């Protein structure tokens, strides 16, 4: 490449010297000979400012007019055959010359005979072909733009060493010389622009290189004859050079130690990798090889300071459930984690990568599924969202392949554990730790309640000491996974407003609407809450989705875990059955299979708190396997049962599915219990018709409506609190038509309801009406109403007969007054004189023969008045 040089400082100095020696003050230089040109000069062509353009010959037809040493001029072309001012003169040297265009402004130019500016030289492929008009001979010089930008201002020289370079120009293809002011040699520059992943494996094989380091050495090694031919003859400025490497088609050449060439590229964006580059701030210069276009970009390279740690030291969860841990990364994006050790009786190696590049990875572990073999899927046992987690056992059967390729298992002296095996294998590691000779066969049952170490390895070496203990090459952090014994605690029932069972999958939102009850009004939601642990892992495994812990499970998933042949060996039973079995008829039961239509039954879980919620839309005809009658009693039961004599064991030495096991094959035996252990909880509830009772009844059971401007209609209902309740009031009898719909009717947790205030001041005493209590637009019950000037309160005990105790504070059965409203005076607000102050009977328990008003009657009246006052305060 003696003549094929780039415009570098040496050439600039050399050209300057020529100009000084020739004593010619001009902006365009010409040289005899065309060997160093970038392109041949053509009339009608567009050329880039800074290119060297060659005149290579004079045609036979033009030789009579153009001598081999002809003096020529380059002039501006102004259009319409108008030739402008002189830019320079030059002479041919044996019919050849090279025109350097560095100093020419962008515009149109023409070459003419020195003695005749109207004699324009037409060039074809560098050959002076004829003397013609300027309009047929001019050519264009244009300016190239180059814009380069580096995405990050700083990177480190380890794991986070990559950043994107964007190269943009107004030119189609071009070659760019890259340097760093001598701070980086060509080998470093080549490594920054080229990585293994960006080089075609076929090219690597042809050159005989296995890595970028080998690639550079092979290219620059003269003893590699097949390669050195390419290397010695490489012309980076020549389009289509045979070898360029990586996304930027990078090339090296033997005359330059501090620069590389991005050969024949177009606009592109790709990563640079500063792995292994010394800490410093670098100014990268980008110069187009054959034009004046250039740009620069700076980047600071920092020494990596790798730190990987857990976000806490102890992670506690019950065995059989899902536990999560978080790893925080600094100056790296991946790590190996040893799960377990020789003391816990189980070891696996996890590869964890921060694929999201946000500095942390949260891993969920299904403790019920740990122990499955390489026929399973890592995603059934571990989950890291959009990041990466892989199990060496499940993903590779213990082999050092893929992301585990670099892993080594050694003894204290650094020697391979099994010299007879060419490759490292997890089997060797667990064998030396005394856990068996097959990593896939370490467990005989699911992970039991004990402590498991989680250790982050900053290297790829895992060692067994002479004492038979595991040791990491560089332990960066250690945490403990504390699995505790699972069990069953309690079960209760709740109600919520009528809705599809799966209308809400946010558990917090659901719990904001529930009220604990055992009487469930038909059409309301029934929520069965079981406080239990050790079953959520099975649910996640069956659902095949860790996200179900947040988004909910199908009823079929729960049904399979508690009543399917696959899971029979786990000994978990959940049953919701009515007490209505008669003769040959089976009792009505809750559907937990694929027959339950969408929205009839739904399952939510709180894995952290150990709470299972089964939500039932009682308005759906598909929630139960038979119809439901008013007053039908049910029992909900959850039970964990072990085998009388044997513990749970996996079906084989290793299993593909987590449910492959039981006692004596597949007999029920809860995996975490000793033999002959049962834990069971149950609760009873009743599904009843929705009812409503209005307050302020007169002796004819009419609801009294006061003709005031702010009157609230009140009462009690067994419909779920929070329901969309309203009261509609219409005329009745001979009363002129009217209509009020009170939408803002609230039902409290005790069943007491009150409408929004309504203006009845336009009603007359004696007007008649009808009340319609509605839920979600459907009528529940009606009552007759009568307008009065003032509410009669001497007989509002009509609703006491149906009082379910929702407003009963439990203190009135001893005949005493709790004094909540008794300040020793009577405000008379609701007093019609029926119980005047002459004798309230409260202190006379010896006389029960008072005509028309015995002691018992007086007590009832006082109690009724006290309850009324309390309700009105509400």
Q: pLDDT tens digits, residue range 116-170? A: 989 999 999 999 989 999 999 999 999 999 999 999 999 988 767 899 999 999 9
Least-confidence region, from 345-349, 584-588, 599-603, 670-674: 584-588
Give, in order, the Cα–Cα distances in Å from 674 to each of 322, 487, 677, 679, 680: 22, 12, 6, 12, 15
Q: Is the dihedral of CA 237, 241, 243, 247 positive or negative?
A: positive
Nearby residues of 504 by Cβ (< 8 Å), 6 or more positions away: 510
| For residue 29, pLDDT beyond 90 | no
| For residue 197, pLDDT beyond 80 | no
For the domain made up of 690-807, the CATH class stated in words is: mainly beta
Nearby residues of 727 by Cβ (< 8 Å), 6 or more positions away: 713, 741, 742, 745, 755, 771, 772, 773, 774
Better pLDDT: 359 or 231: 359
Better pLDDT: 847 or 433: 433
What is the pLDDT, as a whole number, of residue 800? Answer: 45
- Distance from C-alpha of 101 to C-alpha of 293, rounded to nearest angstrom: 13
What is the pLDDT, as a whole number, of residue 753? Answer: 97
Give, in order, the Cα–Cα distances in Å from 457 to each of 320, 336, 339, 350, 388: 27, 5, 11, 10, 16
What is the pLDDT, as a whole number, of residue 65? Answer: 87
Better pLDDT: 867 or 564: 564
What is the pLDDT, as a whole number, of residue 648? Answer: 97
pLDDT digits (tens, 9 = 90+) for 238-290: 444 456 788 998 887 655 668 888 988 999 999 999 988 999 999 999 999 89
Paired with 108 in beta bridges are 140
- Distance from C-alpha of 308 to C-alpha of 363, rounded to nearest angstrom: 14
Q: Is 555 exposed, middle or buried (CB count within 10 Å of its CB: 0-12, 13-18, 19+)?
A: buried
What is the pLDDT, as a whole number, of residue 582? Answer: 60
Least-confidence region, from 419-423, 690-694, 771-775, 822-826: 822-826
| For residue 869, pLDDT beyond 90 | no
Confidence of residue 418 (pLDDT cuts 50, 70, 90): confident
**Closest-CA residue to 160 (of 270, 298, 305):** 305
Mean pLDDT to the nearest integer, 860-866: 49
What is the pLDDT, as a whole number, of residue 242? Answer: 53
Q: Are 154 and 301 in contact (CB under 8 A)?
A: yes
Output helix, strand, coil percentages for the chain, rounded to the nearest 5. Answer: 15, 35, 50
| For residue 848, pLDDT beyond 50 | no
**Where would I find the H helices in 105-147?**
none
Q: What is the largest CA-CA distance in the chain?
A: 155
Q: Where in the chain is the domain with CATH 2.60.40.10?
A: 690-807
Angle at which helices 212-220 and 225-233 cross, to 10°: 80
DSSP class of 830? T
What is the pLDDT, as a whole number, of residue 730? Answer: 96
- Distance from C-alpha of 45 to C-alpha of 127, rounded to nearest angstrom: 13
| For residue 524, pLDDT beyond 50 | yes
| For residue 793, pLDDT beyond 70 | no
What is the pLDDT, as a whole number, of residue 11? Answer: 39
CATH topology of domain 9-142: Immunoglobulin-like (2.60.40)
- Distance from C-alpha of 591 to C-alpha of 570, rounded to nearest angstrom: 21
| For residue 54, pLDDT beyond 90 | yes
Q: Are 245 and 213 in contact (CB under 8 A)?
A: no
Confidence of residue 59 (pLDDT cuts 50, 70, 90): confident
What is the pLDDT, as a whole number, of residue 245? Answer: 83
- Distance from C-alpha of 616 to C-alpha of 498, rounded to nearest angstrom: 10
- Mean pLDDT estimate for the chain: 85
| For residue 447, pLDDT beyond 70 | yes
- For 594: left if phi > 0, alpha if psi spans -120 to 50, otherwise beta; the answer is alpha
Q: Are 464 and 471 in contact (CB under 8 A)?
A: yes
pTM of the model: 0.67
């Amino acid at each position: 490449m003696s003549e094929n040089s780039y415009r570098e400082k040496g050439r600039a100095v050399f050209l300057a010297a020529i100009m000084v020696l020739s004593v010619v003050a001009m902006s365009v230089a010409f040289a005899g000979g065309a060997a160093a040109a970038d392109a041949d000069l053509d009339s009608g062509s567009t050329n880039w400012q800074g290119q060297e353009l060659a005149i290579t010959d004079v045609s036979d037809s033009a030789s009579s007019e153009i001598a081999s040493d002809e003096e020529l001029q380059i002039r501006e072309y102004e259009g319409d055959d108008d030739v402008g001012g002189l830019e320079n003169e030059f002479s041919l040297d044996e019919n050849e010359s090279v025109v350097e265009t560095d100093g020419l402004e962008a515009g149109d130019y023409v070459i003419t005979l020195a003695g005749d500016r109207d004699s324009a030289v037409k060039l074809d492929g560098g050959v002076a072909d004829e003397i013609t008009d300027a309009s047929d001979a001019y050519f264009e010089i244009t300016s190239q733009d180059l814009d380069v930008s580096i995405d990050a201002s700083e990177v480190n020289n380890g794991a986070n060493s990559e950043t994107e370079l964007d190269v943009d120009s107004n030119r189609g293809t071009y070659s760019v010389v890259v340097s760093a002011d001598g701070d980086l040699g060509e080998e470093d520059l080549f490594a920054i622009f080229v990585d293994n992943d960006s080089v075609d494996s076929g090219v690597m094989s042809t050159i005989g290189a296995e890595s970028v380091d080998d690639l550079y050495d092979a290219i620059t090694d003269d003893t590699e004859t097949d390669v050195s031919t390419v290397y010695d003859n490489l012309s980076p400025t020549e389009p289509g050079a045979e070898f360029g490497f990586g996304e930027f088609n990078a090339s090296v050449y033997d005359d330059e130690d501090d620069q590389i060439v991005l050969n024949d590229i177009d606009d592109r964006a790709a990563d640079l990798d500063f792995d292994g580059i010394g800490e410093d701030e670098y100014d990268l210069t980008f110069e187009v090889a054959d034009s004046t276009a250039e740009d620069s970009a700076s980047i600071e390279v920092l020494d990596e300071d790798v730190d990987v740690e857990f976000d806490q030291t102890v992670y506690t969860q019950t065995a059989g459930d899902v536990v999560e841990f978080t790893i925080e990364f600094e100056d790296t994006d991946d790590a190996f984690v040893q799960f377990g050790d020789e003391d816990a009786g189980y070891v696996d190696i996890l590869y964890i990568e921060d694929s999201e590049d946000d500095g942390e990875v949260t891993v969920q572990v299904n403790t019920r599924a740990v122990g499955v073999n390489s026929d399973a899927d890592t995603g059934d046992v571990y989950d890291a969202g959009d990041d990466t987690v892989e199990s060496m056992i499940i993903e590779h059967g213990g082999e050092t392949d893929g992301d585990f390729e670099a892993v080594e298992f050694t003894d204290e002296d650094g020697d391979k554990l099994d010299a007879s095996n060419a490759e490292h294998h997890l089997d060797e590691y667990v064998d030396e730790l005394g856990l068996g000779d097959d990593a896939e066969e370490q467990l005989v049952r699911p992970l039991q309640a004990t402590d498991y170490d989680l250790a982050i390895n900053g290297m790829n070496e895992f060692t067994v000491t002479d004492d038979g203990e595991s040791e990491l090459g560089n332990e960066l952090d250690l945490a403990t996974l504390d699995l505790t014994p699972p069990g069953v605690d309690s079960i209760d029932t709740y109600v919520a407003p009528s809705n599809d069972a799966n209308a809400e999958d946010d558990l917090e939102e659901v719990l904001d609407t529930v009220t604990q009850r055992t009487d469930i009004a038909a059409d309301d939601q029934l929520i069965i809450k079981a406080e239990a642990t050790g079953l959520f892992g099975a649910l996640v495994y069956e659902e095949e989705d860790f996200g179900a812990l947040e988004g909910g499970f199908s009823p079929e998933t729960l049904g399979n875990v508690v009543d399917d042949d696959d899971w029979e060996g786990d000994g978990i039973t959940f049953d919701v059955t009515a007490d209505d079995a008669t003769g040959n008829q089976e009792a009505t039961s809750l559907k937990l299979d694929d027959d339950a239509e969408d929205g009839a039954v739904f399952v939510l879980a709180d894995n952290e708190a150990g709470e299972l919620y089964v939500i039932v839309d009682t308005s759906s005809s598909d929630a139960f396997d038979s119809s439901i009658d008013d007053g039908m009693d049910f029992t909900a039961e959850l039970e964990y049962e072990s085998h009388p004599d044997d513990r749970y064991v996996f079906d084989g030495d290793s299993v593909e599915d987590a449910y492959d096991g039981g006692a004596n094959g597949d007999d029920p035996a809860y995996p975490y219990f000793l033999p002959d252990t049962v834990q069971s909880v149950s609760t009873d509830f009743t599904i009843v018709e929705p009812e409503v009772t209005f307050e302020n009844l007169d002796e004819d059971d009419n609801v009294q409506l006061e003709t005031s401007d702010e009157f609230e209609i009140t009462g009690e209902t067994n419909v779920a609190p929070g329901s969309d309740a309203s009261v509609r009031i219409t005329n009745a009898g001979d009363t002129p038509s009217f209509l009020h719909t009170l939408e803002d009717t609230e039902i409290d947790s005790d069943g007491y309801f009150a409408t929004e205030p309504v203006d009845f001041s336009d009603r007359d005493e004696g007007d008649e009406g009808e009340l319609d209590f509605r839920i979600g637009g459907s009528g529940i019950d009606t009552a007759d109403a009568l307008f009065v000037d003032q509410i009669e309160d001497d007989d509002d005990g009509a609703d006491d007969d149906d009082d379910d105790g929702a407003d009963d504070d439990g203190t009135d059965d001893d005949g005493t007054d709790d004094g909540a409203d008794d300040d020793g005076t009577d405000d008379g607000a609701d007093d019609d004189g029926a119980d005047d102050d002459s004798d309230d009977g409260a202190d006379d328990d010896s006389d029960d023969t008072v005509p028309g008003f015995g002691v018992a009657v007086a007590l009832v009246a006082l109690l009724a008045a006290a309850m009324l006052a309390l309700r009105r305060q509400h």
